[in-house]
Amino acid sequence: MKKAVFTGAGTAIITPFKNNEIDFEAYKRILDKQIEEKVGAIVVCGTTGESATLNDTEHKKMIDFTLEYVNGRLPVVAGTGSNDTSYAIQLSKHACAAGVDALLCVTPYYNKTTQKGLVRHYNAIADAVDKPIILYNVPSRTGVNILPETCLELSKHPNINAIKDAANSTTQILRTIALCGDELIVYSGDDDQITSHLALGAKGVISVLSNILPGETQRICTSFFEGDLKESLRLQIKYLDLVGALFSEVNPIPIKKAMSLAGYCTDEVRLPLTDMDEANELKLTAIMKKLGII
């Protein structure tokens, strides 16, 4: 039986930039809010953290800084996935040596692989480290889907602990849980389906929404765990329009705009990402005002 690294909302934290450099002062403000509102975990250098445009030095510095600043107050999960298995192992070893609680490893992208390749890729990483690994399944970005049967095979490794499933398939989550049982923890990767995925057996969500609403996103989960399905569903519905606005353009463009509007940081993203479209920005702003966020 695998033990969950965290329960509730793990925030897929943004990487704030200023003049194309990481803005660590802004990052402290963002982390302070996460710690204050007691989210389940901080997930650094994931998709929302623009890991694809962080160079190696920046990637490692973000991991190290997060661990030093959080200082054990929350679990820290580091994104260390790559489409190059050897580089994923290198990053994963660095993160483990630095003291992370777990690793988040996305499926190989662009060069992709077969299901057999996924098994070999993840087992190679898991063999090289001593921390739990959370598989990251996001076919819309990578072009690769981890099938439930492959999850079953991977769950046999003691270091492969969980999966963040952003395949947007209820059937796939059900099949994965049915096959793997307690040997693979499931986290939702979809902010618009947190409550429904918890009802299927997920232990939480790795969330974009919780950047701007950490406490409320955590409450969606804790309400469910405490048996208050009605409250969990109320909150899920309350923030449904906000979630829609946060995914109206490629993540993390909208969440960075939202964080900028709330005064945490600039809305700067790195190319090839660009500024948010004006019409979408106006809609996001209106929703945030209606909810009293700004």
CA torsion, points 223, 224, 226, 228, in degrees to nearest 10?
70
Helices (H), the chain: 24-36, 56-70, 85-98, 115-128, 139-142, 148-154, 170-180, 194-200, 214-225, 229-238, 240-246, 253-261, 278-290
Active-site residue, from 164, 203, 256, 257: 164
Phi-psi region of 190 (alpha: psi -120 to 50; beta: other; left: phi over 0): beta
136 is catalytic: yes
Residues 6+ apart with CB under 8 A from 123: 154, 157, 160
Cα 270 to the chain's mean position, in Å? 19
Active-site residue, from 27, 122, 136, 187: 136
The C-alpha atoms of residue 53 and residue 49 are separated, in whole angstroms, by: 9
Peptide bond into 16 cis (omega under 30): no
Judge whether 200 and 219 are in contact, CB under 8 Å. Answer: no
Judge whether 103 and 95 are in contact, CB under 8 Å. Answer: yes
Rg of the chain in Å (alpha carbons): 18
Judge whether 79 and 107 are in contact, CB under 8 Å. Answer: no
Query: Is the Cα dihedral 40, 104, 212, 290 positive or negative?
Result: negative
164 is catalytic: yes
Active-site residues, by number, are 136, 164
